[in-house]
């Protein structure tokens, strides 16, 4: 049975999410909020990453330490995913970055790839797929399909808010992809926007309302 999404219910995340939802929040502040929330969600999403023991030299003596075993790749779905990816990359400055660009075909309503740039070794470790809004789930499924074709088998979807419809669609298509989000919202409206949601994340990030 597909797993329920991981809801990051930390008080700091929820307080910042309230500001992100507020229609009065301006683009500069919205970008700051998405970056910080993204980092906090990623902190929880990477809690079980594998590590190896290493020896390092402190200024005083040698010490046993733990290092990540596999390379982590952060992959925002353009363009809105960039807002959260910045905060996640701050958390993991040594992580690799890839990008996937998708647009919706207005005739078929299906996601169409227009850009894909991924590290050659993307399948060697966990991938964090970033998209602030999990609405219908179509874009997330297409992006996961693209990563699976590249051999990825540890894909974690990180989003700011999710609709039940999108969660179900992703779970049905890819039950092994865990979903991490700050909120499972009520529903989609008749044009595919999340309610209560926070509007169009890309437009709010870049002031293109």
**Total structural domains in the chain?**
1
- The arithmetic mean of pLDDT across residues 25-51, rounded, is 95
Q: Is 104 labeled as catalytic in the residue annotation? A: yes
Q: Is 169 labeled as catalytic in the residue annotation? A: no
Q: Is the pLDDT of residue 2 over 60?
A: no
Contact 71, 121 (CB under 8 A): yes
- The arithmetic mean of pLDDT across residues 79-87, rounded, is 91
Q: Is 200 labeled as catalytic in the residue annotation? A: yes
Residue 1 lies in a domain: no
DSSP secondary structure string for all residues of the chain = -PPPPEE---HHHHHHHHHHH-TT--HHHHHHHHHHHHHHHHHHHTTT--EEEEEEE-SSSEEEEEEESS--EEEEEETTHHHHHHHHHHH-TTSEE-EEEEEE-TTT--EEEEEEE--TTGGGS-EEEE-SEESSSHHHHHHHHHHHHTT---EEEEEEEE-HHHHHHHHHH-TTS-EEEEEE-SEE-TTS-EES--S-HHHHHHT--
The domain in which residue 78 lies consists of 6-206
Percent of residues, the chain, with pLDDT higher than 90: 85
Q: Is 131 labeled as catalytic in the residue annotation? A: no
Percent of residues, the chain, with pLDDT higher than 70: 97
Mean confidence (pLDDT) of the chain: 93
pLDDT tens digits for range 84-107: 999 999 999 999 999 999 987 777
Catalytically annotated residue among 104, 150, 154, 156: 104
Residues 189 and 182: their CA atoms lie apart, in Å, by 20
Q: Is the pLDDT of residue 47 over 90?
A: yes
What CATH code is carried by the domain that includes residue 143?
3.40.50.2020
Residue 87 lies in a domain: yes
- The arithmetic mean of pLDDT across residues 62-77, rounded, is 97
Whole-number pLDDT of residue 1: 46
Catalytically annotated residue among 108, 117, 120, 185: 108
Residue 21 lies in a domain: yes
pLDDT tens digits for range 169-189: 999 999 999 999 999 999 999
Residues 195 and 201: their CA atoms lie apart, in Å, by 13
- The arithmetic mean of pLDDT across residues 146-161, rounded, is 97
Residue 46 lies in a domain: yes
Whole-number pLDDT of residue 209: 66
Q: What is the pTM of this model?
A: 0.93
């Amino acid at each position: 049975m597909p797993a329920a999404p991981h809801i990051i219910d930390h008080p700091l995340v929820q307080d910042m999410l309230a500001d992100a939802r507020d229609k009065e929040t301006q683009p500069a502040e919205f970008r700051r909020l998405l970056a910080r929330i993204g980092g906090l969600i990623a902190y929880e999403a990477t809690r079980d990453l594998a590590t190896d023991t290493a020896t390092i030299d402190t200024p005083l003596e040698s010490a046993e330490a733990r290092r990540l075993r596999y390379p982590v790749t952060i992959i925002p779905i353009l363009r809105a995913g960039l807002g959260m990816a910045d905060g996640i990359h701050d958390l993991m400055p040594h992580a690799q970055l890839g990008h996937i660009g998708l647009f919706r075909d207005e005739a078929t309503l299906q996601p169409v790839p227009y850009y894909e740039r991924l590290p050659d070794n993307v399948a060697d470790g966990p991938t964090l797929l970033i998209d602030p809004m999990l609405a219908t789930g179509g874009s997330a499924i297409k992006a996961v399909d693209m990563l699976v074709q590249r051999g990825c088998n540890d894909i974690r979807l990180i989003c700011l808010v999710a609709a039940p419809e999108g969660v179900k669609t992703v779970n049905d298509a890819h039950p092994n992809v865990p979903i991490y989000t700050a909120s499972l919202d009520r529903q989609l409206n008749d044009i595919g926007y999340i309610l209560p949601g926070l509007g169009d994340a890309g437009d709010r990030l870049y002031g293109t309302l």
